[in-house]
Amino acid sequence: MTTLAQWLVAETDDAALRSVVVSMAAASAELAAVLRVAPIAGQTGLAGHTNVQGEAQKALDVISNDVVLRHLQANDAVSVLISEELDDAVHFENQGAFIVATDPLDGSSNLDVNVTVGTIFSVLPSAGGLLQKGREQVAAGFVAYGPATSLVLRIAGDVSVFTLDGQGEWVQVVVAAKVPEATGEFAINTARERFWDAATLGYVKESVAGETGPAGKRYNMRWVGSMVADILRILMRGGIFLYPLDSETVSKGGRLRLLYEANPMAWLVEGAGGRSTTGQQEILDVEPTGIHQRVPVILGSAEEVRRVEAWYAKG
């Protein structure tokens, strides 16, 4: 049995970096306990105000942000926190070597129906400033609060998965996650079809045609609507996830956020042998222009992502 602490020591010599991951894991373990009884505490409703993205904010969004903030503020290795829930970056007093960008509670529209939600985070070197490409990440991970609480992590090497046990210990359950090259599952919000571009329409039409179409094989669709759950499934058994640019999201640049959703997920999926793109370029090469910037996101099994890229290349 390998614990998170043992894995971290084997993964990096940098004690400060290890401590940042430990802080995020501790914050997530605390959140897992809060989420487990949240319906009893009446915490799954609206908090009555909107967050920086103009979305209705749930009480648990606020709580999650506060928990992550408290854990990171107590860690001298962290200089700055970028959070989906905060308009501005929070600069801590110390000169820590790392910036953390986080979505403290992703998939929160699923909270009141007890469907998996999660915490996503990206760790960047402080020296690079707030706006760094995803390629500069030194660690990334997410926690999925589902039937089990799963922590997915990548530092230098393979993508590892841990489960939180009853004693509060993170136990390794997957040593090196591998996204299979080929897949028969796609994940996209098909209710948005009327807004899609030609590439997305072409790709999905081809997939739905199954063995009778040019793809020559049958597909199934899976869409939890909670990015952490959809990406965890892809890391475990393959698939493709698409939140492409469409006519409704074009003015905003996309739906999902670059720094704390697209970048960490792309880095994890690529670390597990998958592929990612905006349709125009690799997600990890996107030059950020703002901390809450949005981007189109297409990632998962390499063969399938290449099929989408081929559609975009047609222009």
Q: Which segment (67-75, 87-95, 221-229, 278-286) binds ligand FDP by CB under 6 A? A: 221-229
Q: Does 200 bind ligand FDP (CB under 6 A)?
A: no
Q: Among residues 109 and 247, whose Cβ is nearest to ligand FDP?
A: 109
Name which of 72 and 227 has its Cβ closer to ligand FDP. Answer: 227
Angle (CA) 120 291 43, round 5°: 45
User: With binding defined as CB under 6 A, does residue 247 bind ligand FDP?
Assistant: no
Give how many residues touch ligand FDP by CB under 6 A: 10
Pick the binder of ligand FDP from 108, 116, 122, 200 (CB under 6 A).
Answer: 108
Residue among 157, 168, 225, 290 that touches ligand FDP (CB under 6 A):
225
Token pair for residue 42? 């009446």
Give the shortest CB-118-to-ligand FDP separation in angstroms.
Answer: 8
Among 11, 85, 106, 270, binds ligand FDP (CB under 6 A): 106
Nearer residue to ligand FDP within complex by CB, 75 or 278? 278
Measure the CA–CA gap between 191 and 72, rounded to whole angstroms. 38
Region 157-196 residues binding ligand FDP, contact defined as CB under 6 A? 189
Rule CB under 6 A: choose which of 109, 220, 247, 280 binds ligand FDP: 109
Q: Which residues is 150 bridged to in the sheet?
A: 144, 163
How far apart are CB 203 and ligand FDP at their closest, in Å?
Answer: 17
**Residue window 22-61: x/- pattern of binding to ligand FDP, with contact defined by CB under 6 A:** ----------------------------------------
107: contact with ligand FDP by CB under 6 A: yes
**Site residues, ligand FDP (CB under 6 A):** 106-109, 189, 225-227, 256, 261
